[in-house]
Amino acid sequence: MFRRIGYTLAGLALALGVIVPVAAPVALAQSDAPLTLLVGYSAGGSADLAARIIAPEISARIGRTVIVENATGASGMIALQKLVNGAADGNTIYYGGFDTVAVPMTNAKVKINWEADTIAIGRTTTTSMAMVVPAQSEHKDMAALIAAAKAAPESVSYGSPGIGSAQHLLGEIIAQRAGVKMLHAPYRGGAQVTNDLLAGVLDSAVLTLSTALPLAKEGKIRVLAVSGTERAAQLPDVPTLSELPGLNGLSLPLWQGVFAKAGSKPDFVTALDKAIAEALATPTVQKRYADVGFTAAPLASATFKTFVGQQAATYKGVIDSAKIVSE
């Protein structure tokens, strides 16, 4: 279940064959032991890739080896539970996003509260989701898709990678705001959603931007709108949902960041917060994130906590109104 990879500045530079200039390391007072960065998904996935970009950067700036550990299962909750059950000794942190907040809201078996059990250290990235249709679809824009759903309730389907996923919530919010009923088709992963969309089994789907971009470039799908606060740089002609009539102000980005266990010492949190901000300010890190479909989007600890709280309120609103329950 677990896969661990350690990063040190010297090892990274040796692997790349270059000398990497960085700020002088700031030693963390709590420990000189390796720092474990827990990731709730398997190696090679988007969360894992994003964590592995920031891990060596943190290591270089705090003077400690950072080990990425994949503790997979339960929509990221195995890793989060491992953080919460562990000691607040400054030796373990967690890389999480939407699931950190939303899964405990939909699954009563998960007894974790992000606000009480963790400290939001710093946001690292954001990306958009995309409402898409097959290239041959008669729905040329969001207005046409919504009109079809309004004309015949539950006649228009949309796929997501599972009940309670961010993609599911976005579809529900769109339907609620537009005053229509769409047919949700939950799958066990994003790959199956894409396959059925391309086969014409689904009328539409909510995909991550990183998944949608290559398909759009190949002419296999049409992107109707994106969920971020701004238009995607790669799709400048595609509107955000918030630009559309009836959906004004709707923004639901996917985001990721670093969390520590509640009770961790302030100097530990401050040092990590500083290291993350410095790393995200570098063009190299920004490009590496952009290459895999993310935007480097730093938020310092206090601001990050406020952001997560705002997102949590949005998630809870749609989960409660749509009575979304997952297992």
Give the CATH number for residue 137. 3.40.190.10
- Domain check: are 214 and 74 in the same one? no
Chain-centre distance of CA 278, in angstroms?
A: 21
Residue 188: the pLDDT is 87
Would you say residue 79 lies in a domain?
A: yes
- Domain check: are 101 and 206 in the same one? no
CA distances from 69 to 74, 156, 267 (A): 16, 41, 24
d(CA 85, CA 280): 29
Q: Among 243, 267, 298, identify where a domain stops.
A: 243
What is the model's pTM? 0.85
Q: Which residues of the chain have pLDDT under 50?
A: 1-2, 9-30
- Per the structure block, which two tokens stand in for 327? 């297992």
Break the chain down into helix, strand, coil percent, rounded to 5.
45, 20, 35
- Per the structure block, which two tokens stand in for 308? 């997560």
- Domain check: are 99 and 85 in the same one? yes
Residue 298: the pLDDT is 97
Structural domain count of the chain:
2
Would you say residue 59 lies in a domain?
A: yes
Residue 17: the pLDDT is 40
Would you say residue 250 lies in a domain?
A: no
Domain span holding position 72? 4-127+255-322
Read off the amino acid at residue 139: H
CATH number at residue 64: 3.40.190.150
Would you say residue 327 lies in a domain?
A: no
Would you say residue 119 lies in a domain?
A: yes
Q: Among 222, 243, 264, identify where a domain stops.
A: 243
- Domain check: are 74 and 27 in the same one? yes
pLDDT tens digits for 87-112? 999 999 999 999 999 999 999 999 99
Residue 249: the pLDDT is 87
